[in-house]
Amino acid sequence: ILNADETGLYFDMPPGSTLAEIGQPSKVDKVQEHSERVTALLTIRADVAMFVVRGKPGGTIDKKEIPTYPPGHWYAVQENAWMEERVWLTYLDELSNYLLDSSVLLVDNLECHVSEKAHDKIAEASFSVIEPLPPNSTSKCQPLDVFNMAFKGHVEDGMAVGGR
């Protein structure tokens, strides 16, 4: 049994509060607010994680930056650094290489996780099945929902010590 879940990570974040003259807005530009976002797709029982980086498939980040990232993980680009069907299906291809036996992959109800294409891909690649958890239950019974906060803290600590 495996459990997969993604969580957003923000780095180079704008400050939590700003200074402004009295009566003037203290607004952070929407582009600035989420421009440095990465989605981490974590799986319990696999030794690697997938990181979804903001960028265009085939673009500069995909071709020049990602090859410089640390080995031992999978990386994908998506224009908003979000999980979507193309990225999820790529992840399932990679995950299948690590499955030695038929397995059950527990996921939340994100549309790309439970799509027919996703069910077919994992069944064909590794004789495994995707099992969505009941709606609104992930905070109670999805192990990675609990782990995500600790993971984010670990990443933030590493960035504080070693920079980007």
The pLDDT of residue 119: 96
In a domain, 160, yes or no: no
**Residue by residue, what is the 3-state secondary structure of the chain?**
CEEEEEEEEECCCCCCCCCCCCCCCCCCCHHHHCCCEEEEEEEECCCCCEEEEECCCCCHHHHHHHHHCCCCCEEEEECCCCCCHHHHHHHHHHHHCCCCCCCEEEECCCCCCCCHHHHHHHHHHHCCEEEECCCCCHHHHCHHHHHHHHHHHHHHHHHHHHCC
The pLDDT of residue 135: 84
The pLDDT of residue 147: 63
In a domain, 24, yes or no: no
In a domain, 40, yes or no: yes
- Is 53:61 a contact under the CB 8 Å cutoff? yes
- Is 72:98 a contact under the CB 8 Å cutoff? no
What is the total residue count of the chain? 164
- Is 21:27 a contact under the CB 8 Å cutoff? no
pTM of the model: 0.67
Query: Rounded distance, CA 151 to CA 164, Å?
Result: 16
Q: Tokens 């993604």 appear where?
A: 6
Q: How many domains does the chain have?
A: 1
Q: What is the domain extent for residue 132?
A: 2-11+29-151
The pLDDT of residue 161: 63
**pLDDT tens for the chain, residues 1 to 164:** 678 888 887 766 555 556 667 777 666 555 444 567 788 888 876 555 788 999 999 999 999 999 999 888 889 999 999 999 999 999 999 888 888 889 899 898 999 999 999 999 999 988 999 999 888 877 776 666 666 666 767 677 766 665 55
Tokens in use for 101? 């036996």
What CATH number corresponds to the domain at position 105? 3.30.420
